[in-house]
Structure formats: C-alpha cells, structure tokens
Amino acid sequence: MSIYILAIESSCDDTSAAVLHNRTVLSNVIANQQVHAGFGGVVPELASRAHQANIIPVIHQAIKTAGIEKHQIDAVAFTRGPGLLGSLLVGTSFAKSFALGLAKPLIEVDHMQAHILAHFIEKEGKDSLYPEFPFLCLTVSGGHTQIVRIDDYFSMQVIGRTIDDASGEAFDKAAKIMGLSYPGGPMIDKLAKSGNPEAFRFARPMIADLDYSFSGLKTSFLYFVRDQLKINPDFIELNKADLSASIQKAIVDILMDKLMKAVERTGIRQVAVAGGVSANAALRQAFLKQEAEGNIEAFIPEFQYTTDNAAMIGIAAYFKYLKKDFADLSATPYSRSTAR
C-alpha cells in the first residue's frame, strides 16, 4: 500500500507541516515563533495569531519539499489536543477545509501519543531498531511528564505522571530565574556542558508511587539563587554554567529514578523517551548509561523528532489510516490530555 499523508501540528508555539509516504518522512517544515522569547513562556493569543500567519506558507513548503502534488495526498491529519485551544483551532480548521477541498479523509491525532509514536518513523540507512510492544516511554515536554506503558499503537496507559509542573516547565522556570529567554531548556542544556553538575544541590521530592513533582525543586532553586544574590549581585552571571549543570542533574535524576522504578515494577525493559525534553543531552546520556549497565534497552528519538513537529503527527495518522480510523468535521480541539 502506498499512502501519502499531510500532517499539521499547531498545539503550542510551533507551526509545523509534514508529508509522509507510509512511514517515511518526505518533508517536515517547522516555523518557530520568536515572539514569545521575552515573555518567559508562550503567550496564547500571540501564538494563535502567529499560527494564522505561518500555516499556509508552512504547508505549501511541506508539499513542495516532498515533491508531490496536492491531489496525491490520501489523508489530512491534524493535532486535536492537548494544547492551547486558540492554537489548535488554527490547525484543526485548516485541516478540515483542506480535507474537504481535496475530498480526502481527515485524521485526528493526540499530541502526546504522537510524541511516542515518533519512534516508528522509518530510519534511513541505519540498523533500524524499533521498540516492541509492550514498552515503556518517558514522555517529557513543556506541558507533560508521564511514564506510559504502550501495549499497541493506540493502547497506552499512563502509569506515572507529574502532580504539578512538567519537567520542561522546570527547565523553563529555572532558566527564567537565571534571566535566560524562553524556551530555557535548550539554553540550560548548552550552558550545562561547561558546568559542574555537583556544584550545587537542590531538594529532591518525596512523592509516592511512580508520580513526579517538580514545583519543590523550582522553589528550592529560586530561594537558593535569591539568597546568593543578596551576598553577591553577580552570583548568577558568575555561576551560570554550574547552576545549569546542577539543576539539569536534579531534573534528570528525578526523571530516571521513577522511570527505573517503573522498569522494576513492570518487568518491561524496552524503554523509550519522547517529547521536547528528550532533546536534553544529560537525559539522553542517562538512558545510554542504563543501557550500558544492562538495565534497559534504550530508544532515543532522532533529535529532529524530539520537540514539536508534524512528522510525529503524520506517523500516528499513518497507523490510524491503516485502521480506517477517520475523523469527521465535527471534531473539536481539546486542551487537556485525555490520558489521565
């Protein structure tokens, strides 16, 4: 079977469109929104306006780069949620009109499932190893932090979750305290490379079961920095690298601790990581270390599929297409995750 899918992602602050041929990505165009940089977070109203400005050129570019004609598209996929409603509406409305215009089926995709299913994107020229069911996935982004058990492409169970902030938020908030611009995760990752992860120690949460908490860590970081600034107003400037490496280590330790408990508890040793925070070098290293020690078989996504992108929406849609699981025009976006 030969299937071409046009996929659209607009759940937060990236406008993205991709064309897939079966499991192969032909194009994956992403327009980042710089407008939020100075605000310390995504401003919803500005995000939806930017999506409106970006969506047509981004889709046009995705189809052009893929080297196909519009009439070859077999289905149009879109992110239905979770995410910012105003942002989701732009992609959803566009997908509906486009599918209607082409007289092709419409496929709705859950953003968090898509982050996980990105692991099934065809890997070119490499010894392609894909996770086998059941596997675990640590799903870490700006809005979510979950341990998910995956029994089939669309049979997933959240077995651990954050009770407050997401791990991406922990990175972003720590970055904001240090005066770095949004999103702070990639900046902390970069600065941490020349810092000492043992320089400062921050509180680790005591949370039951497989759940996470990051709000205490943020507060501990905030108070520590505030106290140090009283002693030396240049404290942040002089210690940016060490602060970054230390907060990053705390976040990664917390993530890995519960994940390894989940491995122990479920007996599942194939373990993937997905979502924006899976771009983090220290987290990727922690996965490889566990693999080297023989504790898990690690699946780390290609860097380009870690943060928000439409290729992951396309691969999820491909598996739905095979099941003829199509959406109708009444599908409306949802802001909160359905997997609770």
Told to check if 143 binds ligand KG4 by CB under 6 A, we report yes
Rounded CA gap, 201 and 222, in Å? 13
Nearer to ligand KG4, 81 or 275 (CB): 275
Task: Name which of Zn ion, ligand KG4, none residue 108 binds, using a CB cut-off of 5 to 8 Å depending on partner kind.
Answer: none
- Scanning residues 10 to 29, which ones bind ligand KG4 (CB under 6 A)? 12
10 near Zn ion (CB under 5 A):
no
If one counts every other C-beta atom within 10 angstroms of the C-beta of residue 37, the result is 12
- In three-state secondary structure terms, 13 is coil
CB–CB of 55/37 below 8 Å? Answer: no
DSSP state, residue 204: P
Number of neighbouring beta carbons within 10 Å of residue 198: 10
| Nearest approach, Cβ of residue 47 and Zn ion (Å) | 13
134 versus 186: smaller Cβ distance to ligand KG4: 186
Cα–Cα distance, 262 to 294 (Å, whole number):
16
What is the three-class DSSP state of 296? coil
The answer to whether 276 and 247 have CB atoms below 8 angstroms apart is no
Residue number, 186 or 216, with CB nearest to ligand KG4: 186
Sheet strands (E) in the chain: 4-9, 14-21, 24-32, 75-81, 106-110, 135-140, 145-152, 155-161, 270-274, 297-299
Residue 189 binds ligand KG4 (CB under 6 A):
yes
**Measured from the CB of residue 51, what is the shortest distance to ligand KG4 in angstroms?**
14
Binding mask 295-314 for Zn ion (x = CB under 5 A): -------------x------
At 164 the three-state DSSP class reads coil
Q: Which residues pair with 139 in a beta bridge?
A: 146, 274
Q: Is 277 among the residues that bind ligand KG4 (CB under 6 A)?
A: yes
Contact partner, 200, from Zn ion, ligand KG4, none, Cβ < 5-8 Å per class? none
* From candidates 78, 135, 171, 214, binder to ligand KG4 by CB under 6 A: 171
Tokens 């993937």 correspond to: 272
Binding region for ligand KG4 (CB under 6 A) out of 25-33, 138-146, 148-156, 204-212 = 138-146
- Given the rule CB under 5 A, which residues bind Zn ion? 141, 308
- Given the rule CB under 6 A, which residues bind ligand KG4? 12, 141-143, 168, 171-172, 183-186, 189, 275-277, 279-280, 307-308
